[in-house]
């Protein structure tokens, strides 16, 4: 299936700093989903973006969908230790179901 | 509402044996996905079932197989186990395949091959 590229692979931040992960596709996305997996846990659905240029917020998390629907980002403001984990984007609607990026591991230093 | 349930939680097998992993989707969900997650790595797509049919499979050898039952629960079978099959196997279900409905994951089965 069509790949989604996610960067960076790892991100170390000090607690209180901001964090951003990016998801890019070479083809137009019908929608993009974001998931969070805590260490030792399973992926948990965060949000789905469908419209071009869409921006959605969940407390300190801001999700954006690009105007061309080929990229997306997740931004966390003032990270906390509870934000630790791996953040995955996933493209949906294709013939092979949901395709996940490789994820960004967020490591927070107190 | 009960979430996606997987059994067993842990499974220890020796090389060459067969493993069977089970998954019950959320009530009303007809699509079931299987993913393999090796330690610290991403989600590798294994199999996708919908309405009892295999819709797609990932780049895995034929010794990875499965099925979906009439009640939409699913089974993943791994034959001739190899050491590198040791991983967390995650099952997920969704309402529909249309438009890429969000996936709800189970807690996974940790398979260890010795």
Ranges of each domain in chain B: 5-113
The nearest alpha carbon in chain A to B107 belongs to A42
CB contact under 8 A, A31 and B104: no
pLDDT of res. A94: 61
| Selection from A102, A32, A80, A36 nearest residue B41 by Cα | A102
Out of A30, A88, A97, closest to residue B56 by CB: A97
Q: Is the pLDDT of residue B94 over 70?
A: yes
pLDDT of res. B1: 65
Element (H, E) at B74: strand B74-78
pLDDT of res. B40: 73
The reply to whether omega before B49 is within 30° of 0 (cis) is: no
CA–CA min distance B87, chain A (Å): 12
pLDDT of res. A70: 96
CA–CA min distance A83, chain B (Å): 17
Q: In A, what residues contact B, Cβ < 8 A?
A: 1, 30-31, 33, 35, 41-45, 48, 88, 90-103
Q: Is the pLDDT of residue B99 over 70?
A: no
Q: Is the pLDDT of residue B42 over 90?
A: no
Condensed to tens digits (0 to 9), the pLDDT of residues B4-18 reads 999 999 999 999 999
Q: Which residue range(s) make up the domain with A63?
A: 5-109
Number of domains in chain A: 1
Which CATH homologous superfamily contains domain B5-113?
A: Immunoglobulins (2.60.40.10)
Q: Which residues of A touch B41 (CB under 8 A)?
A: 102
Summary mean pLDDT of chain B: 93
What is the pLDDT averaged over residues B70-75? 97
Condensed to tens digits (0 to 9), the pLDDT of residues A35-53 reads 999 999 999 999 999 999 9
CA–CA min distance A108, chain B (Å): 17
Q: Give chain A's residues under pLDDT 70.
A: 1-2, 93-97
Q: Is the pLDDT of residue B23 over 70?
A: yes
Q: Which residues of A touch B53 (CB under 8 A)?
A: none
- Contact, A24 vs A102, CB < 8 A? no
CATH number, domain at A61? 2.60.40.10
């Amino acid at each position: 299936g069509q790949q989604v590229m996610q960067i960076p692979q790892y991100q170390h931040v000090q607690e209180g700093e901001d964090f951003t992960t990016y998801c890019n596709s070479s083809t137009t996305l019908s929608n993009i989903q974001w998931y969070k997996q805590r260490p030792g846990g399973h992926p948990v659905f965060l949000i789905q973006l469908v419209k071009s240029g869409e921006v959605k917020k969940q407390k300190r998390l801001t999700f954006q969908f690009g105007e061309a629907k080929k990229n997306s980002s997740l931004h966390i403001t003032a990270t906390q230790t509870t934000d630790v984990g791996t953040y995955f984007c996933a493209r949906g609607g294709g013939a092979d179901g949901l395709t996940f990026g490789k994820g960004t591991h967020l490591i927070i230093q107190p | 509402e009960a979430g996606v349930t997987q059994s067993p939680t842990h499974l220890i097998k020796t090389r060459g044996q067969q493993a069977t992993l089970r998954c019950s989707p959320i009530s009303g969900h007809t699509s079931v996905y299987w993913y393999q997650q090796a330690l610290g790595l991403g989600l590798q797509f294994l199999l996708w079932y919908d309405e009892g049919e295999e819709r797609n499979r990932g780049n895995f050898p034929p010794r990875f197989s499965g099925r979906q039952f009439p009640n939409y629960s699913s089974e993943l079978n791994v034959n001739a186990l190899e050491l590198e099959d040791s991983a967390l196997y995650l099952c997920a279900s969704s309402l529909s395949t249309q438009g890429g409905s969000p996936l709800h994951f189970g807690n996974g089965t940790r398979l260890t091959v010795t």
